[in-house]
Structures are given as structure tokens and as C-alpha cells.
């Protein structure tokens, strides 16, 4: 029997929709949501009915009958920390996403829409590997300041998808491999995958690690505090500067790596330096991560949108290929990863996890 799976992946201004027959994608569409339309909603979570209607319209346009669907799966949102895997969208998860107990994000809408469709169609509804997957070892959470712990917030869905893919190429099960995955996008996360768990990773949202096109990464905190005081910046102003306008944006006024490479081609020495510094910091983070598994690394993986840049990939590989073979998977594999997460449960290869935060 073929399992027909609906996959929903909401972003800030778009919603990706796809239908899979088992592992094979048969229909897909990206729904654009104009700023003019979205500004009518006071909260991100207020958008869920509008986006749900858009998803249903897209299925009709793709000639997909709702009665054909065997399951619906969505990108998970900001929830309480949880282990990796495929989760049933239970009442508690739905309520937490609706209330935004850990914050509001467009990905929250996926779980809300999937739960409502699963109830209406009497089919299972799941999320897979949300950004709050927390499998970090306790020693990795110690920050050096008792009032602040290091947190696990990263590109869990895509990282685990490519780690599974590379494990297969190595002839291993994901639960047998030691792999370091670097997701290179608007944010950058470098995770240590040890026997099926991400035991250490930088906080790619608002924490440490390499700087990225729009985020500052780790900073010298003494000079940072001095800068904030001298410029009389409040929390929201500082957060916008450090997360939305950090990294490439801070130095070069753009988050588009392609434009930075154009500047380099036109002999812009500053652009060349900053681009090389970003690669340097990624490579340095990979090197630091290798000690987590005592240097016993089966493979290194570069993925995410920035890994389409041959220049960036080569700069990183030059510094880290002594550690382990480097695999490159440009772009993201979120839709496939969501479908496969649901499929493993439907095939009884895994049991669905229950959202029951402590």
C-alpha cells in the first residue's frame, strides 16, 4: 500500500506544500503571502486559518483529493525542548503552539494546521525534528555563568536529514555514526551527531558560533556591553542589530552571499576579508566540535543555501578535510525529511513520540 502524505512547511512570507507517495514527491507548490496581507494579523499565530485555507486551495489546484491522504506532517515550531524524532500532535502541543509558550514563529503554524486537518480527515498528524530538539550532553550546556545555560536551537530537521543520508553512504546506520554537520544559511549551526543524537551544537538563533549573513554569532562580551551602554541601546534594539543585522549585513550591508561574491570578483578587499572570516569561523567551529568525539569523526557535512557557494565550500574544506571526508549537500531537504519522518512511523519502523515536556 502506498502512503500519500501531505507535507506543510510555513515560512515567514510563504508556505511550502507537497504531497508524497511514500518517498516520491508527486506534487508541490510554494504559496507566497504578501506583506500587505500578513500585516492584517496582529500575531503570527492569527495567520493559521488564512494559511490553512491557502493549503486547502492549493490541494484542490493540484487535484489532490483530501480522502486520498493517509497522514499530514508539518515542520515543528517553538516548543519546550524535546528529543529528536517524529511526534504526534497532541492536545498539549497544539495548545503550546497556539499560545506561543516558547515564542511565536511561522513554523508554529505548521503544527496548528496539521492538527486541524488530521482531526477533520481522521488521519495521523505529526511534526518532525523541530528547531528545539535538545539532545545535548549536560557538560555541553555549561556556559561559564551560572545564570545562563547554553541552549540547543538549530536546524535540526535538515541536519538530521543529511546526517542520515551520509550515514547510508558510509554503509552505517545513523545510530552508529559520528558526523559533524554544518548548516550554512541565514543562520549557521554546527552540530555533533553521535550515535543518533546531536550531543553538542551552537545556538543558531540568538547565541554563539560562527557569524552568518544576518547573525553576529559569538562576540567579545566585554566590548559588546560597553558598546550597548555607550549607544544607549535597549534589549529590542540590540537584538535587532545582533540577530537581524549582524554578520555580513553588519559589515557589508547585505545578507546575499551572491552579492558579496560579486564584490570579491570586482576586487573588493573588504568583502574578500569578511567572506573569508565567515568561512574561517565555520571551519574553527568544526574543528572545536571534533574534540567532542575525541577526533573520531566519520564524516563532515556542509549543507544549507550557502553551501551552493563553491568559493565558501572550498575555503572551509581546505581547513577541515584533514579531520574526515567532507560531503556537500547544497540547499535544504526539509520537505523530504518531513515526509520520511512520517513514513518511518507509518511503516512501523519507529514509534511516534509523545510531547510530554517535564
| SS3 of residue 236 by DSSP | helix
What is the pLDDT, as a whole number, of residue 18? 98
What is the pLDDT, as a whole number, of residue 59? 97
What is the pLDDT, as a whole number, of residue 201? 98
Here the cell at position 118 is: 488530521
Mean pLDDT of 295-315: 97
CATH fold match for the domains 4-132+334-346 and 138-324: yes
Mean pLDDT of 204-214: 91
Share of the chain above pLDDT 70, in %: 100
Mean pLDDT of 59-82: 95
CB 162 within 8 A of CB 283: no
Mean pLDDT of 220-232: 94
pLDDT band at 1 (very low <50, low <70, confident <90, very high): confident
The DSSP line for 215-240 is: ---S--HHHHHHHHHHTT--HHHHHI
For 354, half-sphere exposure in the C-beta direction (CA atoms, 13 angstrom radius) is 4
Spatial neighbors of 31 by CB under 8 A, at least 6 apart, are 14, 15, 16, 17, 51, 54, 55, 58
- Mean per-residue pLDDT of the chain: 95
Can you tell me the distance from the alpha carbon of 20 to that of 24, in angstroms, rounded to the nearest whole number?
Answer: 5
| SS3 of residue 310 by DSSP | helix
Can you tell me the distance from the alpha carbon of 208 to that of 191, in angstroms, rounded to the nearest whole number?
Answer: 12
- Cα separation of the two ends of the chain: 38
Strand partners, 32: 14
Can you tell me the distance from the alpha carbon of 53 to that of 51, in angstroms, rounded to the nearest whole number?
Answer: 5
Q: Which of 55, 131, 125 is nearest to 91 (CA)?
A: 125
pLDDT, tens digit, 9 for 90 and up, residues 10-65: 988 899 999 999 999 999 999 999 888 988 998 999 999 999 999 999 999 999 99
Superfamily of segment(s) 138-324: ATPase, nucleotide binding domain (3.30.420.40)
Can you tell me the distance from the alpha carbon of 93 to that of 98, in angstroms, rounded to the nearest whole number?
Answer: 8
Can you tell me the distance from the alpha carbon of 260 to that of 266, in angstroms, rounded to the nearest whole number?
Answer: 10
pLDDT, tens digit, 9 for 90 and up, residues 230-277: 999 999 899 889 988 999 999 999 999 999 999 999 999 999 999 999
pLDDT band at 103 (very low <50, low <70, confident <90, very high): confident
Q: Grid cell 568561512 — which residue?
A: 279
pLDDT, tens digit, 9 for 90 and up, residues 187-207: 999 999 999 999 999 998 888
- Tell me which of 3.50.30.30, 1.10.10.10, 3.30.420.40, 3.50.50.60 is the CATH number of domain 4-132+334-346: 3.30.420.40
CA-CA distances (angstroms) from residue 50 to 38, 55, 81, 101, 193? 9, 9, 28, 21, 38
Tell me the domain boundaries of the chain: 4-132+334-346, 138-324
| SS3 of residue 27 by DSSP | strand
Mean pLDDT of 133-137: 97
Spatial neighbors of 159 by CB under 8 A, at least 6 apart, are 181, 183, 189, 191, 193, 198, 303
pTM of the model: 0.89
Can you tell me the distance from the alpha carbon of 246 to that of 259, in angstroms, rounded to the nearest whole number?
Answer: 16
What is the pLDDT, as a whole number, of residue 70? 97
pLDDT band at 76 (very low <50, low <70, confident <90, very high): confident
Q: Which of 4, 8, 3 is nearest to 111 (CA)?
A: 8
A 10 A CB-CB count for 63 gives 7
Asked whether the predicted pLDDT for residue 345 surpasses 90, the reply is yes
Amino acid at each position: 500500500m502506498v502512503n500519500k502524505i501531505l507535507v506543510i512547511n510555513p515560512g515567514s512570507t510563504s508556505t511550502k506544500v507537497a504531497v508524497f507517495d511514500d518517498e516520491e514527491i508527486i506534487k508541490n507548490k510554494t504559496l507566497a503571502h504578501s506583506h500587505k496581507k500578513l500585516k492584517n494579523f496582529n500575531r503570527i499565530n492569527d495567520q493559521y486559518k488564512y494559511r490553512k485555507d491557502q493549503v486547502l486551495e492549493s490541494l484542490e489546484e493540484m487535484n489532490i483529493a483530501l480522502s486520498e491522504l493517509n497522514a499530514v506532517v508539518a515542520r515543528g515550531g517553538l516548543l519546550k525542548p524535546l528529543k529528536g524524532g517524529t511526534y504526534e500532535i497532541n492536545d498539549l502541543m497544539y495548545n503550546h503552539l497556539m499560545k506561543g509558550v516558547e515564542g511565536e514563529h511561522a513554523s508554529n503554524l505548521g503544527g496548528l494546521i496539521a492538527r486541524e486537518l488530521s482531526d477533520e480527515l481522521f488521519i495521523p498528524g505529526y511534526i518532525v525534528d523541530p528547531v528545539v530538539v535538545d539532545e545535548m550532553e549536560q557538560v555541553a550546556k555549561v556556559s561559564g555563568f551560572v545564570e545562563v545555560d547554553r541552549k540547543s536551537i538549530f536546524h535540526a530537521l535538515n541536519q538530521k536529514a543529511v546526517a542520515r543520508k551520509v550515514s547510508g553512504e558510509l554503509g552505517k546506520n545513523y545510530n552508529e555514526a559520528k558526523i559533524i554537520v554544518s548548516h550554512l544559511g541565514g543562520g549557521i549551526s554546527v552540530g555533533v551527531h553521535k550515535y543518533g543524537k546531536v550531543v553538542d551544537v551552537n545556538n543558531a538563533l540568538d547565541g554563539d558560533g560562527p557569524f552568518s549573513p544576518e547573525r553576529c554569532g559569538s562576540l567579545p562580551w566585554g566590548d559588546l556591553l560597553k558598546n550597548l551602554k555607550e549607544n544607549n541601546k535597549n534589549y529590542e534594539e540590540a537584538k535587532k542589530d545582533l540577530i537581524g543585522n549582524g554578520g555580513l549585513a553588519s559589515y557589508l550591508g547585505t545578507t546575499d552571499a551572491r552579492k558579496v561574491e560579486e564584490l570579491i570578483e570586482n576586487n573588493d578587499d573588504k568583502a574578500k576579508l569578511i567572506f573569508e572570516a565567515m568561512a574561517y569561523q565555520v571551519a574553527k567551529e568544526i574543528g572545536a566540535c571534533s574534540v567532542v568525539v575525541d577526533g573520531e569523526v566519520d564524516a563532515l557535512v556542509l549543507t544549507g543555501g550557502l553551501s551552493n557557494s563553491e568559493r565558501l565550500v572550498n575555503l572551509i574544506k581546505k581547513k577541515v578535510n584533514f579531520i574526515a571526508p567532507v560531503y556537500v549537500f547544497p540547499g535544504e531537504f526539509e520537505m523530504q525529511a518531513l515526509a520520511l519522518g512520517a513514513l518511518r512511523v507509518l511503516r512501523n519502523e519507529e514509534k511516534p513520540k509523545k510531547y510530554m515536556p517535564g
